[in-house]
Structure 1
Amino acid sequence: MSSSTSGRDDDAPDLVFQLDCVHGMVEALSSARWKRHQDAVMELSQHGVVITVEESGCLQAKVFLKRELFVEYDYAGEGRVRFGLSLGLLIDCLNIFSSPGHASTVEIRYPGPDMQLLLKDSCNVNADQWAPQMHVYAEIRTRLPDTVSWDFQFEHAGNTPVTYTVKSAILKESIDDLEWPGSSIQIQMQPDPPSVILKGEGHGDLQIEYPYYANTDLLIAFQCDREVSYRYKYKFLRATTSNIPSSVIKENRGTKVQIGRGGMLKIQHLISVARPGMPYYRNIGGGDDQTSRIVYVEFFVKPEEDDNTVNDA
């Protein structure tokens, strides 16, 4: 899996990076976790790290960790390096480093001697220099990916994208309210009047409508030039919002929702991993900036087959 390059030690790792805000990273990864045992594929490149999880070929989440998020990022691999690991185990290990009072920078290496993902705290800025210092180490066993992740190609149907941006807290609350055991949720967008309608069916019907012009604080943005309507399994739809971090809710952030060709649903959350109380941080470019410390988490949900849906024009 690992390849040597000219002038490089064969045993040198493909990637060494340092992270100084573990809590934010835990929140970002947890947002893509919808069940206890979940396998993930980690992809490394010179541009950053992408973590992908999916289920049943109908639901996929991607967490994009661009290289600018890290204090140090040294990639020496060839092309892109991919391996599988347990998402839950990765989150649990990172949680150890994000415990209260533990403010160290975490260094992560891959691969270790037995192809592990290696984690350790590289320093402890709050420690007394004369006191004995405790260091934390963790190893996560990796594997060859069982399958190649689905390539969820998202394409806009027509010349005008069908999309809206809604407050994350409102979207989560709406999906939670629409729960009917074993049911599907219909998402409908229409240009006249401009609105988004979510409808659940069970022992009765429940419909939630977001009128665009009636409450601009609710729908931050709206774009739709034709009516579209698709149904999605509730369990897949709920997975896209079930673990939105409390920081996103508190900051009143927005979530972008798009419906593409064939009804492919794309939901994008923006999660800040800036260190609380710090006006800046030292990034790999040597600059002092917190504004770029945003993790993009994207979900893709395939629609159910339904003859009653309004098809693409």
Structure 2
Amino acid sequence: MSSSAAVDTEADLVCELDSARGIVDALCSVRWKRFQDALVELSEHGIVIIVEETGCLQAKVYLQRELFIKYDYGATGRPRFGVSLGLFIDCLNTFSVPGRSNVLELRYPGPDMQLMLRSVDSPDAGIYAEIRTIIPETISWDYNFEPAGSIPLSFTVKSAALKEAIDDLEWPGSSIQISLQPAPPSVIFRGEGHGDLQIDFNYYANTDLLIAFSCDRQVSHRYKYKFLRATTSNIPASVLKDNRGSKATIGRGGMLKIQHLVSVAKPSVPHPHIDSAGYQQPSRIAYIEFFVKPEVEESNADDD
């Protein structure tokens, strides 16, 4: 047996990407400070990258196995390892050269439990990198999202509009109240501090911005601004340019979930997951979810 075959047998995962650019965009979306550690979870269904902050903010990037041109999974269970998010992004950027075909192989674990990356399609030069992994800490809070009722409390708004609204809410200098009301159907963002600012998204009046709306009762919760801003501060320019929608859902206890979609298809290169009209199938999309805990008000601190 060759040495490469032996490594393949021992590896939990060997996979290949036809473009690192989309993965970089997805990971940058969940990077809200300079130094962050990420938990990477492997499974037969794909890769999940999880980052969190002080038990109040958590983000997950889902990379489904259909995103990869090769996905050989040989582990039992779901291996986990920790890695520096910034270092991972920097390494992936090294393999993303505009105008060149760059198939990237990821392999885990290496001989010293490292994450190994290498280019596999360049006839004249090769790029190789190893990232030291760490033993992951236990996720400090339960991010299991539960619906608030039988009818979802949710809305979908154009990503650029959501980012602009949250950016504008910085100057009042306070936490942000998000309210949903069924009549008239609308979403209200309100900040009070050095000044007052209220931003309304009215469903019937702004269907070009507020794409979808579901609410059967009035609900209102407050969220710390810095955590709310982290959900949109690094949305890729490609998402804003494509004018896509981001979905927000309020779950049990006021837990806020915000979802973005990031394309990982190689630009201007045909792929079996892209049809003749250029429509990208869902398998070429990375799913990003943010979970933000609400601020607990004194009046309902003891409520379930």
What TM-score does the superposition give when structure 1 sets the normalisation length?
A: 0.89
Q: Is the 8 A contact 1:40 1:85 kept in 2?
A: yes
Aligned with 1:186: secondary structure? Answer: strand
Distance 1:219 1:10, change over 3 A: closer
Q: Structure 1 residues 115 and 163 mapped into 2: Cα distance closer, same or farther (>3 Å)? A: same
2:121 is equivalent to residue 123 of structure 1: yes
Which residue pairs with 1:251 in the alignment? 242
Letter in structure 2 aligned against 1:118: M
How far, CA to CA, are the matches of 2:299 and 2:18 in structure 1? 50
Correspondence for 2:216:
225
The partner residue of 1:277 within 268, 271, 295 is 268
Q: Measure how far apart 1:257 and its partner are.
A: 0.3
> Which residue, out of 131, 135, 138, partners 1:147?
138
Partner deviation per Cα, 1:198-257 (whole Å, 9 max, x = no partner): 001121100000011111101100000001000000000000000000110111100000
Q: Contact 1:180 / 1:201 at 8 angstroms: preserved in 2?
A: no
Taking only the aligned residue pairs, the percentage that are identical comes to 66
Instruction: After superposing the two structures, state which structure 1 stretch, 267-276 or 8-17, moved more.
Output: 8-17
Spell out, residue by residue over 1:40-92, the C-alpha distance to the aligned partner (whole angstroms, 9 max, x if none): 00000111000000000000000000100000000000110000000110000
Assess if the C-alpha contact under 8 Å between 2:273 and 2:284 holds in 1: no
The 8 Å contact of residues 157 and 312 in structure 1, kept in 2 or not, is answered as no
Alignment of 1:1-313 (within 5 A): 12-124=10-122, 133-148=124-139, 150-180=141-171, 183-281=174-272, 290-291=280-281, 292-307=283-298
Q: CA RMSD in A?
A: 2.3
Task: Note if contact 1:118-1:138 (Cα within 8 Å) is conserved in structure 2.
Answer: yes
Q: Which has the higher helix share?
A: 2
Q: Can you give the 5+ residue segments of structure 2 that lack an aligned partner in the other structure?
A: 1-5
How many angstroms apart in 2 are the aligned matches of 1:149 and 1:112? Answer: 28
Q: Give 1:183 shift.
A: 1.8
Q: How many residues align structurally?
A: 295
Please report how far the alpha carbon of residue 298 of structure 1 lies from its aligned counterpart in structure 2 after TM superposition: 0.1
Distance 1:120 1:152, change over 3 A: same
Q: Which runs of 5+ in 1 are unaligned?
A: 1-7, 128-132, 284-288
Change in 2 beyond 3 A, CA 1:118/1:181: farther
Partner SS state of residue 261, structure 2: strand
Residue 12 of structure 1 deviates from its aligned partner by 1.2
The letter for the 1-side match of 2:10 is A
Cα distance in 2 between the residues matched to 1:312 and 1:172: 32
- TM-score, structure 2 length as denominator? 0.92
Name the CA distance, whole Å, in 2 between partners of 1:10 and 1:118: 12
